[in-house]
Structure 1
Amino acid sequence: MLSPFDLPNKSTLLVTDELFSPADFIIHSQFASQAKNPSYKCLIVSMLPDVSRWKAIGAKSNLNIAEKVASGSIAFIDVSPLIRPSRDGTSLSRLHDLFDAVSSNLLRFDSKDSDVILDGISSLQWMGISSLDIIRFYRAIRSLCRKFDSTLFIRHHVVTPAQPDDVFRTLLQLCTYHIDVRPLASGRSGSVSGEITLHLGPSTRATQGPQGNRRWQYRLSDNSAVYFERGMAGGIL
Structure 2
Amino acid sequence: MEHKCGSYRKPDIIRGNGGRGLYDHPGGLGSLVRAIFHFQEGDTIFLVIGHSGNNVCSEVTKNFDQCKYPGKNYKISIGGGGGGATYVFKLNPNSNLNDKWEPLLIAGGGGGGNGKYNPNFKLSNAQHGHGFDIYNAGYEGIGDGSGGGWNSSEIAQNNQTGQSLLNGAVGGIPCTRLSKWQVTGGFGGGGSGCQSGGGGGGFQGGNVNRPYNAGDGDERPRYELILWAALFIISIALILITFILLGKN
TM-score where L is the length of structure 1: 0.25
TM-score where L is the length of structure 2: 0.24
Q: Which has the higher contact order (CA 8 A, sep 6+)?
A: 1
| Structure that is richer in helix per residue | 1
Structure 1 or 2, whichever has the larger Rg, is: 2
| Structure that is richer in strand per residue | 1
